[in-house]
Amino acid sequence: MEKKLLAATIIVLVIVASLSIAGCTSSSNSSSTQGSTDYSSYFNKFYTGGNAIMTQPFTKSTNDRGDDVYKGIARNSSLPESAGMTIVAELTNSQDAAMSLYNQTVAQKINEGFSARPDYAAAYKAEFPYVTEVWVGVSQQTGQQFYVLYYYDSNVSPSWVFTTEAGGAAS
């Protein structure tokens, strides 16, 4: 099971590496994200590259909070047996909004039986320092991995991006 967890983590790191290559930046600014601009193609390019491929391109919607939300599915093209990773990115108006969503989602995942993997989170943060905060959990029942993170991205509006990534079962 540890080998499968490590393989799934490597898949996520490859996907996030393509994020880094795409030019994701970090900052402490905030501004409004709502508008008519559709960043679906930006997120598709952001996650494509290296070994990551989009199996379901990002599409845009708006949630109840009025935030733009992008959802897509990616997988590691160099590992044919790799499970898809569902990625949901919400553009928030402020770091406080992103942090609030982060805290709520982490609490929800812990209540659902996910166990924190601080070692995975530390490795992720070390590899991608533009990420403001990251939490990685693994479901005790299904082995599914779940990543919760947020960061500032001046390429999208500029905005704080709150992201969740749910991978297939690791067991």
Whole-number Å distance between alpha carbons of 45 and 32: 23
The per-residue pLDDT for 136 is 95
For residue 88, what are the β-bridge partners? 71, 164
User: How many angstroms from the chain centroid is the CA of residue 134?
Assistant: 9
pLDDT band at 69 (very low <50, low <70, confident <90, very high): very high
Q: What is the pTM of this model?
A: 0.74
Q: What one-character DSSP code corresponds to residue 81?
A: T
The per-residue pLDDT for 104 is 96
Owner of token pair 């995975």: 120
Q: Is the separation of the CB atoms in 75 and 11 below 8 Å? A: yes
Domain residue ranges in the chain: 2-169
pLDDT band at 20 (very low <50, low <70, confident <90, very high): very low
How confident is the model over 119-157, as pLDDT tens digits? Answer: 999 998 998 899 999 999 999 888 888 999 999 988 887
On the question of pLDDT at 60 being above 80, the answer is yes
